Amino acid sequence: MKSAAEYLEGHVFEARRPRRELQPVVAHADAVQAIEQALADAEKYRYLLMRALRHHDAAGAAPARLADIRPAVPTEAPVLPMYPALAA
């Protein structure tokens, strides 16, 4: 998967603001195009991931029920207010 900078590689140019150093600049149209490409790639990767999960599930490696998956936090842990003075 590409990083955010890789989508903008060819579209970045440098501009100098008055009395400042060069700064990278991207045109609005180029930024929109890069975002559309990133979203299209994300949709493709989502499809591939879901397909792999279905294939993995069909092989029987996944738990039979959601109850078989243990929660990360014990359910017996008490829930305390973050700011006790405000809770009263």
Task: Return the domain boundaries, the chain.
Answer: 1-62
Residue 58's pLDDT is: 67
Query: pLDDT of 4-28, one tens digit each?
Result: 778 777 777 788 877 788 888 888 8
Q: What is the pLDDT of residues 75-85, one digit of tens each?
A: 677 777 777 77
Say what the pLDDT of residue 26 is: 83
- Tokens linked to 71: 């929660």
Please give the C-alpha separations between residue 70 and each of 15, 53, 54, in angstroms, as whole numbers. Answer: 54, 19, 21
Among 22-26, 46-50, 67-71, whose mean pLDDT is lowest?
A: 67-71
Cα 24 from Cα 31, distance rounded (Å): 13
Task: Tell me: pLDDT of 41 over 80.
Answer: yes
For the segment 24-50, the average pLDDT, to the nearest whole number, is 86
**C-alpha angle 22/10/45, rounded to 5°?**
125
Average pLDDT, rounded, for the chain: 76
DSSP 59: T
- Characterize the bridge pairing of strands 12-16 and 22-26: antiparallel
Chain position carrying tokens 């279905």 = 54
Q: Are 15 and 23 in contact (CB under 8 A)?
A: yes
For the cut 80, the answer to whether the pLDDT of residue 72 exceeds it is: no
Over residues 45-74, mean pLDDT: 69
